[in-house]
Structure 1
Amino acid sequence: MAVNPATAWPTLPVRPDPATDAVLASGLIEELSYAFGGPFHILLPDAFDTNLGAMRAALDEAGVDGFVYYAKKANKAALWVERCAVHGAGVDVASAGELREALGHGVRGEHLVVTGPAKGRDLLLLALRHGALIAVDALDELDTLITTALTGTVRPARLLLRCLPPTQPHSRFGMHDAELSTAMARCVQAGDAVRMEGFSFHLSGYAVQPRTDLAGHLVDLCLKARARGLKAGCVSIGGGLAVSYTDADSWHTFLDEQNSNHYHAGKSFRTGDFYPYHSPAAGADALRALLAAHPEGHGRSLATLLKDSGVALLLEPGRALLDRAGATVFRIQGVKDRDGYQLLTVEGTSLSLSEQWFNSEYLPDPYLFSQSADTPASGTWPASIGAATCLETDMLTWRKVPFRRRPRIGDLLVYPNTAGYQMDSNESPFHDLPLPPKVVVESTSRRPRWRLDRHPPS
């Protein structure tokens, strides 16, 4: 296959990750690929613990009373809920199944927050019985909750009122100011049946200042709610703390260079549909930036405003707690030569990587590992990667990734840093292909040891 060495092939390398590199260097992934006979995910609990500790440290540094909930939707593995139970963190759930899963893995009921729209009575009743905090999305939901609390539960309903972001007025989530005022009146009227603990919101995107502005507005609402006799002692900012997968130069160079010629079948993407794979303030640093910024209309930082008002900050990160906490492995089972590039087919489906949801794709460069003793000659070998299914559009990577050597059947492709949303948000047993198992990998002094998720050590 002729490859034009003068062609510029955009790349997107991930930031250094010694923990993942150590697993890859150990030879474990080759053993696991043989054992499972298909794609699989590796999970790294130490990274989750580190990210959670960094979030808590950011709150402590700012002197802000706060609580971190893990947004369970970001990854269905039991491991992360187990880590929350060990460390006394919370879990953000949006269904009865997720709630039961969190309870079953040791998370206390009062450490759960129930989000999502139009919650059914069964979910509300389960949350009430276990003392979970409930983010109420609409007035009819509030009425259902109050009625349920008044007829047969032994605890008051702990709730937040979810705000419709003024900057995103077309969102289908939350209540506008007039509805919030009505909701507060109904909470007052309900008396001891409810405990209105504050307000919540979730903003699309990852910008810091809009979150600070809306959090400041909700602190003001807490003070107004207290004047009406409500507890109103906390504000939840939801998630939206970015993860920075790559460095600034790599990201901006990629955006400048990439075009439809760099994708299989001339596929094109709107750059605005790509996740922002670099962010100047990410994870715990994004939280620090948010706390240090001044909300609109206030002459002091959000941290100072929270402290002066006696309001706690709740947050529900998902992806940010899973940064560098896992990777996904596929085996190559077919190679075709095309005009100037290769088309690889791997075991499994692209639905194990979820950016297809957004008419986008997961952009960080996969690693190529040879299982052959005779390593092929080095060079530039661009290749796009498709799944073992009968759909033209079932592509893991439309982009022609420039590998340093020629991919071959039996080689492994490792997609780095996939724990946040990529592993299972869109998975499907299409063609009766099994869902990729999740493997918990723990560091030891000799070599990594592993177990299947949902089979914790005794």
Structure 2
Amino acid sequence: MALTLPAHPDPLADRIHASGLLPELAHGLGGPFHYLLPERFDANLAAFRAALAEAGVEGRVYYAKKANKASVLMDRCAAAGAGVDVASIGELRDALGHGVRGEDLVVTGPAKSDELLRVAALQGALIAVDAPDELDRLLTLGGPRPPRLLLRVHPPAQPRSRFGLDEAQLDEALRRCAAAGDAVRMEGFSFHLSGYAVRPRAELAAELVELCLKARVLGLQADRISIGGGFAVDYVPADAWRTFLAEQGPGHYHAGKSFAPEDFYPYHSPVAGSDALRAVLATEGTGGRSLAEQLRRAGVMLLLEPGRALLDRAGSSVFRIQGVKDRDGYGIVTVDGSSLSLSEQWFNSEYLPDPVLLTGRGGDPGQPYPACVGGASCLDSDLLTWRKIAFPTRPHPGDLLVYPNTAGYQMDSNESPFHELPLPPKVVIDLPDGGRRPRWRLDR
């Protein structure tokens, strides 16, 4: 018994699959690999910028670097003048090393190290202050220029969130910033919200606009707010997603494993990417004014930190099949990698869009063959896909499995050279005009 959940059609990916490039790369690299399509990143960035321009809102887009470590993405940000959201000294140095300017960085994350705060302040990066002690350290940091900062607000709608300053801490932080005078540049506020709902983001953003107005009364700059990320990606068609959620159960998974619907990322979203930003900006608050209008009237800039949404359809993961084992009514396909290279397992879930089977065998495809996909480790729990995938034919050793649209968080969030297996390299694919064969290069 198998359920299908195909990704949205992607003619560009189909062109790559038909080119013969992927089997050559699998042979030459000797193991699994990820490929990246930087032009898609460029297009997604342009779409977010267009949404801001259409709404008449001044804004900045910062790529959330944690979503994918690839160097080519830093190169693209630097070339486009885009910002980068970093949360560690390593991420900050990598962004700077690829040409991203210090003033185009925003530093997020909790409990930042002294070194991170010092380098960020020296480079003129914008620092999201998450706790009173961070503000203490910034105010006593010294240096050639005053640190630039946002005050991160604890979201009232998510009281269990570990991020942000509560109301009393926020009042004290504002008082201290005002008293510090030119020793600090308090440029506004930020928040982190879990989930992908539009209205909570718009409502909290509107509250931060009002906070900016109050902060200005104290003599603070307060002319920008950051609403973070949380812009969904639409991976699969609506009908397929509804059917999958309604029908999936233990019988569809190897070893009778079960997942609750809430365990899964929402692989279908009717409002996704830059359209989700448009929806946030169009949301009306008290007085019937949209968030865009409130931002314009208050002269407040909107900062965004999307990660996954900038990587939509910007890459896929490729594994070579090493063996196929028949079980009672389904098979177990083993590939030359591990589940650590598809990071959804990190969340006690799995990556659900169907992998594509690429085989060199022509002729009759044969009978459909349901199979789960296991890794090459000695761990019984090492499965890339617990679900019994409805393959169009029985896979064979040497065939390739392509997991589509994995650039956002899947490729390297949970990587590990377990069993001394090398980490899958990243390959950058360029697609020349005129239908010529794709070209490739290693990312690092």
* Post-superposition offset of 1:244: 0.2
Aligned residue identity for 2:57: V
Aligned residue identity for 1:391: L
Tell me, yes or no, if the aligned pair for 2:17 and 2:358 is still in contact at 8 Å: no
Question: What is the correspondence of 1:130-149 to structure 2 with a 5 Å cutoff?
Answer: 130-148=123-141
* Post-superposition offset of 1:332: 0.5
**Which position in structure 2 is the counterpart of 1:299?**
288
**Which position in structure 1 is the counterpart of 2:167?**
177
Unpaired stretches in structure 1, ≥5 consecutive residues: 1-6
Aligned residue identity for 1:43: L
CA deviations over 1:358-377 (Å, ceiling 9, x no partner): 110000000001134x5564
Q: Report SS of the residue matched to 1:279.
A: coil
Q: Report SS of the residue matched to 1:197.
A: strand
Counterpart selection for 2:64 from 54, 71, 86: 71
* Post-superposition offset of 1:156: 1.0
Q: Is it true that 1:401 corresponds to 2:389 in the alignment?
A: yes
Aligned residue identity for 2:250: S
**Which position in structure 1 is the counterpart of 2:325?**
336
Using the size of structure 2 for normalisation, the TM-score is 0.98
Q: Is it true that 1:346 corresponds to 2:357 in the alignment?
A: no
Question: What is the correspondence of 1:221-240 to structure 2 with a 5 Å cutoff?
Answer: 221-240=211-230
* Post-superposition offset of 1:298: 4.3
Aligned residue identity for 1:352: S
Q: Is it true that 1:362 corresponds to 2:355 in the alignment?
A: no
CA deviations over 1:234-255 (Å, ceiling 9, x no partner): 0100000000001111110111
**Which position in structure 1 is the counterpart of 2:407?**
419
CA deviations over 1:39-71 (Å, ceiling 9, x no partner): 000000110000000000000000000000000
Unpaired stretches in structure 2, ≥5 consecutive residues: none
Tell me, yes or no, if the aligned pair for 1:139 and 1:183 is still in contact at 8 Å: yes
CA deviations over 1:51-92 (Å, ceiling 9, x no partner): 000000000000000000000000000111110001000000
Q: Report SS of the residue matched to 1:378.
A: coil
**Which position in structure 1 is the counterpart of 2:239?**
249
Question: What is the correspondence of 1:54-453 to structure 2 with a 5 Å cutoff?
Answer: 54-148=47-141, 151=142, 153-295=143-285, 297-372=286-361, 374-375=362-363, 377-445=365-433, 446-453=436-443
Distance 1:57 1:378 in 2: 47
* Post-superposition offset of 1:378: 2.4
Runs of 4+ in 1 over 4 A off after TM superposition: none
Distance 2:360 2:398 in 1: 6
**Which position in structure 2 is the counterpart of 1:4?**
none
* Post-superposition offset of 1:379: 2.2
Counterpart selection for 1:35 from 23, 28, 36: 28
Q: Report SS of the residue matched to 2:398.
A: coil
Aligned residue identity for 1:91: V
* Post-superposition offset of 1:401: 0.3
Q: Report SS of the residue matched to 1:405.
A: coil
Distance 1:434 1:382 in 2: 29
Aligned residue identity for 1:42: Y
Distance 1:168 1:400 in 2: 36
Using the size of structure 1 for normalisation, the TM-score is 0.95
Distance 1:356 1:335 in 2: 22
**Which position in structure 1 is the counterpart of 2:43?**
50
CA deviations over 1:141-193 (Å, ceiling 9, x no partner): 11011111xx3x11111000001100111111101111111111111111111
Tell me, yes or no, if the aligned pair for 1:323 and 1:419 is still in contact at 8 Å: yes
* Post-superposition offset of 1:299: 2.2
Aligned residue identity for 1:312: M
Q: Is it true that 1:20 corresponds to 2:13 in the alignment?
A: yes
Distance 2:20 2:323 in 1: 23
Distance 2:359 2:298 in 1: 59
Percent identity of equivalent pairs? 68
Tell me, yes or no, if the aligned pair for 1:327 and 1:415 is still in contact at 8 Å: yes
**What is the aligned-residue RMSD (CA, Å)?**
0.9
Tell me, yes or no, if the aligned pair for 1:376 and 1:406 is still in contact at 8 Å: no
Distance 1:156 1:62 in 2: 32
